[in-house]
Amino acid sequence: MRMTPLDDWSREKTGGMTMADWQLKKLRETITLARNSPFNRGRLPTSLPKRLDDIQKLPLMDAEDLVRGGLSLLCVSPQKIERIVTLRTSGTTGKAKRLHFTAEDLELTVDFFARGLPTVVEPGGVIAVMMPCNTPNGVGDLICRGLERIPAYAVRWGPLSSFADTAAMLQAENVTAIVGNPIQVFALMRYLAMTDTSTSLRSVLLSADNVPSVMVRELEARGLQVYKHFGMTETGYGCAIDCDAHKGQHIREPDLLVEILDPITGLPMPDGEWGEIVVTTLSRRGMPLIRYRTGDHSRILPGICPCGSLLRRLDDVRGRWKDEISLSGSLLTIPDMDEAIFELPQVMDYMPEIEPGTLRLHVTTFAGMKPLEIDEVQEALLTIPALNKLKKAIQIEPCRDYSPLHQAKRSFTILGG
Write out pLDDT tens, residues 274-307: 999 999 999 999 999 999 999 999 999 999 999 9
For the cut 50, the answer to whether the pLDDT of residue 320 exceeds it is yes
Which residues are registered as beta bridge partners of 130?
Answer: 180
Average pLDDT rounded to a whole number, residues 332-345 = 88
pLDDT tens column, 4-19: 999 999 999 999 899 9
For the cut 90, the answer to whether the pLDDT of residue 331 exceeds it is no
Alpha helices in 173-234 (DSSP H): 182-194, 213-221
pLDDT bin (cut points 50, 70, 90) of residue 169 is: very high
Distance CA 126, CA 177 (A): 6
More confident: 90 or 113: 113
For the cut 50, the answer to whether the pLDDT of residue 405 exceeds it is no
- Chain center to CA of 74: 25
pLDDT bin (cut points 50, 70, 90) of residue 387 is: confident
For the cut 60, the answer to whether the pLDDT of residue 398 exceeds it is no
Weakest-pLDDT range from 148-162, 189-203, 335-349: 335-349
**What is the reported pLDDT for 388?**
72
**What is the reported pLDDT for 146?**
98
Average pLDDT rounded to a whole number, residues 336-356 = 85
Mean pLDDT (the chain, rounded): 89
Alpha helices in 195-278 (DSSP H): 213-221
**What is the reported pLDDT for 90?**
60
Among candidates 10, 29, 30, 18, which has minimal Cα distance to 292? 30
Weakest-pLDDT range from 101-115, 322-336, 374-388, 391-405: 391-405
CATH code linked to domain 324-415:
3.30.980
Cβ atoms < 10 Å from Cβ of 141 = 21
Q: Positive or negative CA dihedral for 237, 242, 247, 253?
A: negative
Exposed/middle/buried for residue 371 (C-beta within 10 Å: 0-12, 13-18, 19+): exposed
For the cut 60, the answer to whether the pLDDT of residue 230 exceeds it is yes
Peptide linkage before 151 cis (omega within 30 of 0): yes
Where along the chain do its domains lie? 324-415
Distance CA 36, CA 291 (A): 17
More confident: 351 or 100: 100
Angle at 311 between CA 309 and CA 315, to 5 degrees: 105
**What is the reported pLDDT for 363?**
83
**What is the reported pLDDT for 275?**
96
More confident: 7 or 383: 7
Average pLDDT rounded to a whole number, residues 329-352 = 85
pLDDT tens column, 210-226: 899 999 999 999 999 99
pTM: 0.92
